[in-house]
Amino acid sequence: MRFDTVIIGGGLTGMLAGITLQKAGQKTAIISTGQNALHFFSGSFESIKEPSQRIVELFAEAGVRLHYSPGVRLLPLGTFKESALALEDVDIFPTPKFARKVLIVNFSGYHDFFTSFLADGLEKQGMTCRLRFLSLPELETLQQSPSEMRSVQIARVMDRVWEKVVQEVRVLLKDEDAVVLPQVFGLQDTSVPGRIRQGIPAHVVFAGTLPPSVPGIRTLILLKQRYQLLGGTYLMGDEVIRAHTHEGVVHSVATRNLDNHYIEAANFILSTGGYFSKGLISNPFQVLEPVFGLDVEYKEDRNQWYNPTFKEDQPYMHFGVKADENLHALKDGKPLENLFVAGSILGGNRPEFGFAAGQCIKTALFAADQILKK
Amino acid sequence: MKLQEYTSSRHNFEECMKCTVCTAYCPVLQANPLYPGPKQAGPDGERLRLKAPYFFNQALKYCLNCKRCEVACPSGVNVADLIQSARIKYDTTPPKLRDRMLASTDFMGSLARPVAPVVNAVTGLGVTKTVLDATLKIDRHREFPKYSSRSFERWLKRRRKEQTVFPEQVAYFHGCYVNYNYPQLGKDLVKVLNALGVGVQLLEKEKCCGIALITNGMSGQARKNANHNVAQLRQAVLDKGLKVLTTSSTCALTIRDEYPNLLGVDNADVRESVLLATRFIFEKLEKGASLKFKSGYHRKIAYHTPCHLERMGWGIFSEKLLQMIPGVEFTLLDSNCCGISGTYGFKKENYEVSQAIGEPLFAQIRSVNPEVVACDCETCKWQIEMSTGYTVMNPISILAEAIED
């Protein structure tokens, strides 16, 4: 099978690159080994500090609404972090003290939302907190299997019964001017977070839970739909096992599922992610890129891979695949002229593109632009 | 030290990093609170089962074996294989009479075929359904697939000579459904392949691929079928140099993947030669072969990727093939399980869960409102036809309808 561009890695980077290329009339395919890091997405693109019409529009076309308002956002354990660009249901406040009194509400039996930590953190900022639990009959069946009472399971129920949450919270609410709820709303029905905000007469803040991330999965569903509507081919659950490269040009790749049916393309984008997604793998001696065997920037001395103080910045997080100024992948020091690397696989190699989700967006657009410029 | 015995397992068990992604994609977990979910039933439970079989949980029977957890897993853990292997290894409950009947598709088929009109009339009666529901716990809502008086094997054997004329030859693993219930699909395949200059042969003697035996706790019989079929495949592939095609995505997955992974039957020397017919045809057309399509053909088609085809990653061939047909208006349906999963949905205790699982797919079909739904799986066909009223056709039948006679 032949495409204009084949994208290896179907997470945020791969889908944004794919959407951009499909919009420009290219025929593309995305090959994805299972699900991706959007399942751990905070909902905020931290490293993007400046407003960008292009990014906001690209997401809006897929039905993902972003807002730009520099400030701080609330983290799941009650601390705050600088942010400017985020999903619409992820609040960014001018200062950490976003209210006087806060009502923190969780569902009975749900263990992936840390209300006490949140309360401690908010009280440190001078806010008074009250914790309450909601019991909804619709959630009782989930509790039969407590190990599986997770964000997504709750979110599926909430798409149907969110109005009950509004009613119950209105009853619980006394003189608080803000309510904190777990981020379990709007998985399929994207209007739910907005309607909850409208229905509760206080500022409603959705705070992060343990994975899977509901806003992340929602973003993934919408981006994937957009990519497929534009005619993109998404190969889910497949893995590139071999690449055929000749004199600095990648010709085709072989995958586990399609065995001897090679996928050919004029250009390739490698966006297989970091360690979690196995875009990078390590053994006791080195850090490797498994698909093409690209050059990886890392420290030779293994003792320098990590900082023994857990909370400190960890050097291994900055290791990544080497690329030239146009993001052509480097192998044995030489660029492969039709292979671009984008997303978390770059690690900290290219600070000008930012980090994490912000890096994914910027490198995805940059790589797609390079291909379209050719 | 028995360390190895207590800690290691197959199916990439050690790769699980407890990320919970699989739980978001399990269709059963969304509909049946009695099911512990793929992470718990798979790698988490396996860790305990390795310590003591006591930890085996009967609720694993609720797993559909749709393998969506495996498609979703970012770490390559074969979650469904872990679950099904545990059922094979630890579940000692003998299968019920009903489960034996549902699982023995070729035995039941050979019994019913000679008296097909009678069987069809009787199984279609409301009173029969009520009796089966009450006695055997086969849900009364289900339509039994009709049996055909003439088997596909018999039809093709009569045409053996005319098939040998074609310069290129393939073998066809037709499966129980084509042989006993719906020979037309086999005939459609023969028509399309003949139009491409390819003749069709039968294997000397195929047996049911065995998937229903595996899921109904009859793995011993399944292994016998697997050994028999692999020997047959070797004859076709190694001795005669043929590719072996199927029109059922589940037969293909079972022969290629379940044989080695669940039943321990080595098929390495023939695996790559067992192909879904749509893949074979796509590859022929890609290499320059051509089909003559009727002019003025028009069909609004919504394509549903069966779970097992999703797991194989070959849905793309059926999709692209349908999109090549002039006059086809194509919609790719979201990847969702239809809920039937072979014999699972026929059981009374699973009926409601089965329908709840399928509802998002049914709703999407209703909103797309196609002329036909295309799908490579016979049991998805029964489920979608029963639940939505839309006609479901195998992509091969659509192709046969679209090409000139």
Q: What is the pLDDT of residues A151-198, one digit of tens each?
A: 999 999 999 999 999 999 999 999 999 999 999 999 999 999 999 999
Per-residue pLDDT averaged across B123-139, rounded?
82
Provide the pLDDT for residue B3: 60
Determine the distance in angstroms separating the CA of B15 from the nearest CA of chain A, rounded to an integer.
Answer: 11
Pick from B380, B379, B377: which is nearest to B102 by CA?
A: B379
Q: Domain residues for B328?
A: 292-402
**Burial per residue of A102-123, b for 16 or more beta-carbon CB atoms within 10 angstroms, e otherwise:** bbbbbbeebebbbbeebbebbe
CB–CB contact A277 B74 (8 Å): yes
Does a structural domain hold residue B100? no
**So what's the ipTM on this one?**
0.92
Task: Report the topology of domain A2-40+218-373.
Answer: FAD/NAD(P)-binding domain (3.50.50)
Q: Phi/psi zone of residue A194: left (φ > 0), alpha (ψ -120 to 50 degrees), beta?
A: alpha
* CA angle, residues A90, A343, A76, in degrees to nearest 5: 30
Q: Which of B72, B90, B108 is the last residue of a domain?
A: B90
Q: Which residue reads 């899921």 in tokens? A: B215
Provide the pLDDT for residue B2: 60
Per-residue pLDDT averaged across B10-22, rounded?
89
Q: How far apart are CA B392 and CA A46, in angstroms?
A: 48
Determine the distance in angstroms separating the CA of B107 from the nearest CA of chain A, rounded to an integer.
Answer: 32
Residue B8 has pLDDT above 90, yes or no: no
Contact list in A for residue B313 (CB cut-off 8 A) is: 235-238, 255-258
Does a structural domain hold residue B177? no
Determine the distance in angstroms separating the CA of B400 from the nearest CA of chain A, rounded to an integer.
Answer: 23
Q: How far apart are CA A293 and CA A329, in angstroms?
A: 10
Contact list in A for residue B44 (CB cut-off 8 A) is: 147
- Tell me which of A2, A142, A145 to substitute to probe the interface with B (most B C-beta atoms closer than 10 Å): A145
CB B304 within 8 A of CB B380: yes
On whether any CB of chain A is under 8 Å from the CB of B310, the answer is yes
CB A90 within 8 A of CB A215: yes
Q: What is the pLDDT of residues B138-150, one digit of tens each?
A: 888 887 788 888 8
Determine the distance in angstroms separating the CA of B310 from the nearest CA of chain A, rounded to an integer.
Answer: 8
- The amino acid sitting at A136 is L
Q: Which of B90, B123, B145 is the last residue of a domain?
A: B90
Q: What is the pLDDT of residues B48-57, one digit of tens each?
A: 998 899 999 9
Q: How much is the mean pLDDT over chain B?
A: 92
Provide the pLDDT for residue B4: 62
Residue B36 belongs to domain with CATH number: 1.10.1060.10
- Select the residue of A142, A211, A261 nearest B283 (Cβ to Cβ): A261
Residue B314 belongs to domain with CATH number: 3.40.50
Residue B7 has pLDDT above 80, yes or no: no
Confidence of residue B5 (pLDDT cuts 50, 70, 90): low
- Tell me which of B71, B256, B364 to substitute to probe the interface with A (most A C-beta atoms closer than 10 Å): B71
Contact list in A for residue B310 (CB cut-off 8 A) is: 236-237
Provide the pLDDT for residue B6: 64
Contact list in B for residue A238 (CB cut-off 8 A) is: 313
CB–CB contact B21 A35 (8 Å): yes
Per-residue pLDDT averaged across B282-301, rounded?
96
Per-residue pLDDT averaged across B175-179, rounded?
94
Provide the pLDDT for residue A186: 96
Does a structural domain hold residue B329? yes
* CA angle, residues A186, A187, A189, in degrees to nearest 5: 55
Domains identified in chain B, total number = 2
Parts of chain A with a pLDDT under 50: none
Q: Which pTM was predicted?
A: 0.94
CB–CB contact A259 B272 (8 Å): yes
* CA angle, residues A186, A188, A191, in degrees to nearest 5: 45
Does a structural domain hold residue B81? yes
Provide the pLDDT for residue B10: 84
| Helix, coil or strand: residue A259 | coil
Pick from A95, A176, A84: which is nearest to A128 by CA?
A: A176
Q: How far apart are CA A295 and CA A54, in angstroms?
A: 32
Provide the pLDDT for residue A347: 93
Contact list in A for residue B81 (CB cut-off 8 A) is: none
Residue B225 has pLDDT above 90, yes or no: yes
Provide the pLDDT for residue A204: 98
Residue B83 has pLDDT above 90, yes or no: yes
Does a structural domain hold residue B122? no
The count of C-alpha atoms lying within 13 angstroms of the C-alpha of A240, restricted to the half-sphere facing its C-beta, is 29
Does a structural domain hold residue B17? yes
CB A236 within 8 A of CB A255: no
CA A195 to chain centre: 24
Which structure tokens are listed for B349? 């205790």
Contact list in A for residue B71 (CB cut-off 8 A) is: 34, 236-237
Does a structural domain hold residue B396? yes
CB–CB contact A237 B71 (8 Å): yes
Per-residue pLDDT averaged across B252-276, rounded?
97
Q: Which of B90, B113, B138 is the last residue of a domain?
A: B90
On whether any CB of chain A is under 8 Å from the CB of B32, the answer is no
